[in-house]
């Protein structure tokens, strides 16, 4: 199972950082993705961000830490601005892919915060597209009665992420992934992943506090008890939960 990290550069969506551990503050170090990766002896880090602002510093820290960085940018994506968007993750395959991510991000802001496929086609040759589990067309069409358009991915290599975070609807989404793969007609497959937004299950309250403080929608004011965070009311988005499913030894802290 692949851990999919998200950092606090995705404002309000994680309490993890991409700082290198200093050894001076155990509390701060435990929030470092590089510290967690070292504990788990990970040779590469898969990062899914909602903003590209932290890429440069994260890349430099990955080099210092001696780990491979698999950097992905999660964006609302459409074929036409009249479409209902589906979120997709764009992973850079190589150095050219990193440059392509910047170009895709620029196009995203030009087109009303949408990655419009006709405008980004020329940047996708060094990009792997991943279909996230909870906020893609698969989940939206299953849980919200077909509100999201099915993006045409047949000409692009892509994978489907599959998760299980103890939500009652996880199985409903999972059962639709084989049909989506079959409809892709290009040899795509699914990958078992675990989204990681905080170190331990006990940090869920801190994460909920951060989420509620940054999730203002349509004039509504979220609170700690009603954070208005879709599909996030689970303590399983922790590195501790991933560890218990993939490691035989006890979680180290």
As a whole number, mean pLDDT of residues 142-168 equals 79
- How many DSSP H helices and E strands does the chain contain? 10, 8
- Summarised one tens digit per residue, pLDDT across range 102-143 is 999 999 998 889 999 889 989 999 999 999 998 888 887 787
* The CATH classification of domain 2-246, taken from the options 3.50.50.60, 3.40.50.2300, 3.20.20.140, 1.10.260.40: 3.20.20.140
Per-residue model confidence (pLDDT) at position 149: 65
Partnered with residue 130 across adjacent β-strands are 89, 159
Cα dihedral 39, 15, 74, 84, rounded to 10, equals 140
Secondary structure in 3-state letters for 190-208: EEEEEEECECCHHHHHHHH
- Summarised one tens digit per residue, pLDDT across range 4-52 is 999 999 988 999 999 999 988 888 999 999 999 999 999 999 999 999 9
- Share the mean pLDDT of the chain: 87
pLDDT > 90 fraction of the chain, expressed in percent and rounded: 58
- Summarised one tens digit per residue, pLDDT across range 170-179 is 888 888 888 7
Alpha carbon separation from 226 to 90, 165, 206, 230, 236 (Å, rounded): 31, 20, 14, 11, 19
Q: Which residues of 41-57 are buried (b: 16+ CB within 10 A; e: fewer)?
A: ebeebbbbbbebebbee
Per-residue model confidence (pLDDT) at position 182: 66
Taking 90 as the threshold, does the pLDDT of residue 155 lie above it?
no
Per-residue model confidence (pLDDT) at position 23: 87
Taking 70 as the threshold, does the pLDDT of residue 148 lie above it?
no
pTM: 0.89
Per-residue model confidence (pLDDT) at position 159: 92
Provide the 3-class DSSP secondary structure of residue 12: coil
Q: Could you tell me which residue, 14 or 182, shows the higher pLDDT? A: 14
Taking 90 as the threshold, does the pLDDT of residue 101 lie above it?
yes
Which residue has 């990655």 as its token pair? 115
Per-residue model confidence (pLDDT) at position 58: 97
Per-residue confidence at 79, pLDDT binned at 50, 70, 90?
confident
Per-residue confidence at 232, pLDDT binned at 50, 70, 90?
low
As a whole number, mean pLDDT of residues 193-220 equals 82
Taking 70 as the threshold, does the pLDDT of residue 228 lie above it?
no
Per-residue model confidence (pLDDT) at position 150: 63
Q: Could you tell me which residue, 47 or 234, shows the higher pLDDT? A: 47
Every domain of the chain and the residues it spans: 2-246
């Amino acid at each position: 199972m692949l851990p999919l990290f998200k950092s606090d550069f995705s404002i309000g969506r994680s309490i993890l950082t991409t700082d290198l551990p200093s050894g001076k503050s155990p509390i701060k170090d435990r929030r470092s993705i590089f510290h967690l990766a070292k504990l788990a002896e990970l040779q590469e880090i898969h990062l899914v961000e909602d903003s590209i602002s932290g890429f440069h510093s994260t890349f430099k820290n990955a080099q210092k830490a001696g780990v491979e960085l698999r950097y992905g940018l999660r964006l609302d994506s459409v074929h036409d601005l009249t479409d209902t968007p589906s979120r997709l993750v764009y992973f850079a395959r190589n150095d050219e892919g990193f440059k392509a991510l910047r170009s895709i991000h620029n196009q995203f802001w030009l087109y009303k915060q949408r990655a419009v496929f006709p405008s980004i086609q020329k940047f996708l040759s060094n990009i792997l597209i991943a279909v996230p589990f909870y906020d893609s067309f698969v989940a939206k069409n299953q849980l919200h009665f077909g509100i999201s358009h099915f993006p045409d991915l047949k000409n692009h290599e892509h994978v489907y992420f599959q998760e299980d975070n103890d939500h009652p609807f996880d199985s409903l989404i999972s059962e639709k992934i084989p049909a989506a793969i079959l409809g892709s007609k290009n040899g795509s497959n699914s990958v078992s992943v675990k989204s990681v937004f905080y170190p331990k299950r006990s940090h869920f309250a801190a994460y909920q506090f951060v989420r509620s403080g940054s999730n203002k929608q349509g004039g509504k004011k979220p609170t700690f008890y009603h954070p208005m965070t879709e599909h996030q009311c689970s303590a399983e988005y922790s590195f501790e939960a991933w560890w218990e499913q993939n490691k035989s030894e006890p979680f180290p802290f």
